[in-house]
Amino acid sequence: MNALRAALLLCSLGAATSAVAQGSPSLRGDLLSLAGCLRDSGASPSACIGTVAIACVGAASNNPRGAEAACARREEAAWRERLTLALQVTGRSLDAGQRSRLAAVQLAWESYVSQKCALYGASQREELQAGRQAGCELREVAERAIELAKGLSQAGRQPQSPPQIIR
């Protein structure tokens, strides 16, 4: 993959999700909920995974099992927005070759998550498949967004001592 294609991929991902956030009041609210949870969670951002989906399923008291997939996808959209922003910010500090590698890693990761969660969903009872697959995708996207955000916050820090080589 050349650098131009990688840059276009990263830009198109950002433009698409930003447009969704601007047009969706529920996504804006979900982003605010996640931001509040992440602010309050301190060093445990993973504790915020599922907060929007769980509240959404709880609000669907007439059919919670049927709401699982839609609620997981709703929260995944908010995490995906955060993931896209983290990718954009990360890409800004990289040269063309590194951006290309970042885009290749991200494409490989997307393929891995798709296959992993499809396999997991297919291994469930039929009535649980859609919800479990969507939940798997939610967790994976959230964990990737957290991982990239953590890398961004550590990017400016210098190690306290140089790495030691053990022989």
Which pLDDT tens digit goes with each residue over 20-79? 445 578 999 999 999 999 999 988 999 999 999 999 999 987 887 889 999 999 999 999
pLDDT of amino acid 152: 80
Q: Kindly tell me if the per-residue pLDDT of 96 is higher than 80.
A: yes
State the Cα angle at 130 between 59 and 24, rounded to 5°.
Answer: 50
Tokens of 102: 């970042």
Tokens of 2: 């050349």
Phi, psi of 63 (to 5 degrees): -155, 70
Better-scored residue on pLDDT, 96 or 156: 96
| Range from 8-12, 81-85, 120-124, 158-162 carrying the lowest mean pLDDT | 8-12
Q: Kindly tell me if the per-residue pLDDT of 138 is higher than 70.
A: yes
Average pLDDT over residues 126-136: 94
Tokens of 58: 């709880």
Phi, psi of 127 (to 5 degrees): -70, -15
Q: Kindly tell me if the per-residue pLDDT of 157 is higher than 60.
A: no
Q: List, as one string, the DSSP characters of the chain.
A: --HHHHHHHHHHHHHHHHHHHHH-HHHHHHHHHHHHHHHHHTT-GGGGTTHHHHHHHHH-TT-HHHHHHHHHHHHHHHHHHHHHHHHHHHHHTS-HHHHHHHHHHHHHHHHHHHHHHHHHHHTS-GGGHHHHHHHHHHHHHHHHHHHHHHHHHHHTPPPSS------
